[in-house]
Structure 1
Amino acid sequence: MKHIIILTDGAGDYEMGILGNMTPLEVAKTPYLDELAQKGEVGLVQTIPEGMQPGSDVANLAVMGYAPDKYHTGRSPLEAASMGVPLIDTDITFRCNIVTLTEDEPYEEKTILDHSSGDITTEESTQLILDIREKLQTEFIQYYPGVSYRHLILWKKGPYDFDLTPPHDILTQKITNYLPKGPHKDILYNMMSNSYDLLKDHPINIARKERGLNPANSIWIWGEGKKPQLDPFYDKYQLKGSVISAVDLINGIGILAGLQPVKVEGATGTLHTNFDGKGKAAIETLLNGDDFVYIHLEAPDECGHQGDLEGKIKSLELIDEKIVGAIKNALNEAKEDYRIMILPDHMTPIAKRTHTSDPVPYMIYDSTQNTNLSQNRYTEKSAKTSGNFFNDGPSLMDYFIKPNARK
């Protein structure tokens, strides 16, 4: 039996008047999801534990079966694992976004316009981070380039006493009240403000503005954490598997869990990612010995942050065709038995442009029980009315792998 999780990051949403009081998931044309939902199970799961922030780090740990209150030590050390940055117990890491701020005010009064600098290319952002590293790196504070706008800072023997805000939580807001807080806040603030002085007139940003693109004119520091330790996924579930994602966070969780990261050329974590390549990579790993694959699709989340309703709907349709449909058809043709679970890690509603802690809809399909069980589509509404509810992600994961254990 093959087990596949298709993680549609941020796909859940609220009913919208502009959509006739429906959600993007209800409006999107998703024939494969609809077919699986009619032959499977839909329901809700609470992926974000009470009192924890609704981040992809917390939520994906939960979905993969790791209770966040036990295993979560911060977002950035998970990304460090994917980037191959070795950590010791006294290291503190931070996520380092390259963002777009307004240009006319003093730094502390600027407004954040874009948490991703217009989904800046990895080539451009790497050069910017390397230039920052040349000017700002010290013996103890080091910069590591990542993918697109997502980078890493490592502070050797650093403090762990900050109050930091994710940039995607404060889009279009003045940054004054969201700058670093804590006894050592000035060190991080100076790194951020100095980065603006280095980047505002950088040739890459001059060229971006000439092309009508957002300049990547400041770093934004958040997501601090310490070295984590995850129990091996194989020991938990007796499944050998892989993880397919464009972002270091998800690959890092997979690496720490003992899953094999699969690199897909053209995978970007945006609407323009290589959906075909991700689907084909998942099929190849499953047909060549893997029992489990975790496919992470970032595009719905990015569209949610950008307030891009059309893009979010399009991303769901592409996932349905290029991922869900492709995997279903290939495994059927190969006569493989399989279970698929599809769900977001958290909601990223268009109206809020940030993550929420709402329960998210899940759908489970088992190819060995191929009978019509309902007339449901896979939507937030059908999940809510199903009566199926899991209090936490690890419980749902246990049920997905061992469905008889709950009965």
Structure 2
Amino acid sequence: MKTLFLIADGMGDWPIDALDGKTPLQAARTPHMDALARRGAMGLCRTVPEGMPPGSDVANMSLLGFDPAHLHTGRGPIEAAAQGIDAGPDDLIWRLNVVTLDGLHPGDHMRDYSSGHIATAESHKLIHRLQAELGDDRFRFVPGIQYRHLLIEKNGAKGPGATTDIRPPHDITDQPVDKDLESFAGYPELFELVRKAADILNGEDNPTKANSIWPWGQGRPLHLPDFAATFGCKGAVVTAVDLVRGLGKAAGMATPEVVDVTGLLDTNYEGKVEAALDFLTSGGDFVFVHLEAPDECGHAGNIADKIESIERFDARVVAPIVAALGAEARYLIACDHLTPIAIRTHASDPVPFLYAGPDTLEEKTGVVFNEAACTASGLVLETGHELLPWVLAR
């Protein structure tokens, strides 16, 4: 039986006064998810274990059936897995954003964690320059996608970097960075690298908004159990972001390339759907289709765009996949975490989910898919990595 996890990153939210107390999911037109809800089951799932940060790395690892409390090593290592980075067991792999800061002094603020959603080609020029001017036997700059890059620190897991606590830049938009500067100061070699990078990026020959680097989410290389051996099915991950692709690759899953995927509202929805269906028709059993746009809209605090991203997910991902596969497939629709407009970052609340399959064909009237309906169902899975086995066992 074909099983699909359709994940709208950050889709869940809190009631918003400007929407008369509705969430963006409640305000959005989602006829195709609602149709599944009328013959499905809804509930809540806690994708972020207690005490862990509510990031997409932790939450998507849970949704793929792996326990982050035991397997997660950091965000950087997951993205390194996506690129097939060769790193030693004691190397420290940092996620590296190119960001927009007021500066690197007390009282300065984080203004943009994405440098205006810098284009990949433009950011690659910056990363290649940083590697040429600052890279050495200890620190290596590795280009990624858009604002998301990597910094590999040789044998760094044995040094102070392993315990350096730098906050994710998307958590501190328009907030002072004093706390992080104190953390950087505890690792002078890394802070010096950041300062030198800022000097380079603030030169007149850089036309982008990127004026600093921000290393965070560090850890040793990631190792996950094989997905097929663990769950008995051949799986694939379809996504625009290295973070989720890295989880798939680390678990031995297929990760088909889709052209023109951006992680934003203008992504190639049809290409993602085609890649998912091609995998299933060529012998695959399970596809994890990930859409990043609702999360980015939540970080931007843009209500209208978040509603639009949810409606596009419903119309251009859910609708064509269900039309192609029909009622004989199993569908799990969820977000990995909430990205509430009110806080413009992630929340660790349990996420709403919808399941529909051949075992849930009884039509119910007046049912819609949203946070309130999932809460009212009374179904709660407290351990996120048990959601996939729960679906496969039905």
Q: Considering the TM-score relative to the shorter chain, is it more than 0.5?
A: yes
Query: Structure 1 residue 371: deviation in Å?
Result: 2.2
Inter-partner Cα distance in structure 2 for 1:109 and 1:197: 19
Query: Structure 1 residue 376: deviation in Å?
Result: 2.1
Inter-partner Cα distance in structure 2 for 1:374 and 1:262: 38
Q: Secondary structure at the match of 1:179?
A: helix
**Which residue number corresponds to residue 36 of structure 1?**
36
**Which residue number corresponds to residue 346 of structure 1?**
337
Which of 355, 360, 364 is 2:346 aligned to?
355
Q: Secondary structure at the match of 1:181?
A: helix
Inter-partner Cα distance in structure 1 for 2:142 and 2:131: 8
Q: Secondary structure at the match of 1:146?
A: strand
Inter-partner Cα distance in structure 1 for 2:186 and 2:147: 25
Residues 352-393 of structure 1 deviation map (CA, whole Å, 9 limit, x = unaligned): 001111011000010454221453211000000001000011
Residues 56 and 257 (structure 1 numbering): CA distance in 2 closer, same or farther, change over 3 Å?
same
Q: Secondary structure at the match of 1:223?
A: strand
Q: Secondary structure at the match of 2:97?
A: strand
1:248 aligns with 2:239: no
Query: Structure 1 residue 204: deviation in Å?
Result: 3.9
Residues 200-231 of structure 1 deviation map (CA, whole Å, 9 limit, x = unaligned): 235342xx4xxxxxx11111110001122211
Across the two proteins, how many residue pairs are aligned to each other? 390
1:89 aligns with 2:89: yes
**Which residue number corresponds to residue 328 of structure 2?**
337
Query: Structure 1 residue 134: deviation in Å?
Result: 1.1
**Which residue number corresponds to residue 366 of structure 1?**
357
Inter-partner Cα distance in structure 2 for 1:204 and 1:247: 25
Inter-partner Cα distance in structure 2 for 1:382 and 1:233: 32
Identity of aligned residues (%): 40
Partner letter of residue 263 of structure 1? Answer: E
Contact 1:37–1:377 under 8 Å retained in 2: yes
Inter-partner Cα distance in structure 1 for 2:180 and 2:47: 26
**Which residue number corresponds to residue 126 of structure 1?**
124
Q: Which runs of 5+ in 1 are unaligned?
A: 209-214
Query: Structure 1 residue 163: deviation in Å?
Result: 1.1
Contact 2:185–2:191 under 8 Å retained in 1: no
**Which residue number corresponds to residue 168 of structure 2?**
166
Inter-partner Cα distance in structure 1 for 2:339 and 2:267: 19
TM-score, normalising length: structure 1: 0.93
Inter-partner Cα distance in structure 2 for 1:302 and 1:98: 16
Residues 194 and 323 (structure 1 numbering): CA distance in 2 closer, same or farther, change over 3 Å?
same
Contact 1:64–1:397 under 8 Å retained in 2: yes
Equivalent runs, 1:308-347 vs 2, <5 Å: 308-332=302-326, 337-347=328-338
Which of 221, 232, 240 is 2:215 aligned to?
221
Inter-partner Cα distance in structure 2 for 1:61 and 1:350: 24
**Which residue number corresponds to residue 58 of structure 1?**
58
TM-score, normalising length: structure 2: 0.96
Contact 1:128–1:199 under 8 Å retained in 2: yes
Residues 363 and 198 (structure 1 numbering): CA distance in 2 closer, same or farther, change over 3 Å?
same
Partner letter of residue 19 of structure 2? Answer: L
Query: Structure 1 residue 271: deviation in Å?
Result: 1.4
Query: Structure 1 residue 193: deviation in Å?
Result: 2.0
1:290 aligns with 2:281: no
Residues 196 and 183 (structure 1 numbering): CA distance in 2 closer, same or farther, change over 3 Å?
closer
Equivalent runs, 1:103-182 vs 2, <5 Å: 107-158=105-156, 159=159, 160-179=162-181, 181=183
Instruction: Single out whichever of 243-252 and 108-117 deviates more from structure 2.
Output: 108-117
Inter-partner Cα distance in structure 1 for 2:315 and 2:190: 44
Root mean square deviation of aligned Cα: 1.5
Instruction: Single out whichever of 362-371 and 258-267 deviates more from structure 2.
Output: 362-371
Partner letter of residue 52 of structure 1? Answer: M
Which of 193, 196, 203 is 1:194 aligned to?
196
Equivalent runs, 1:205-284 vs 2, <5 Å: 205=207, 208=208, 215-284=209-278
Partner letter of residue 231 of structure 2? Answer: Y
Q: Secondary structure at the match of 2:216?
A: strand
Q: Secondary structure at the match of 1:21?
A: coil
Partner letter of residue 242 of structure 2? Answer: D
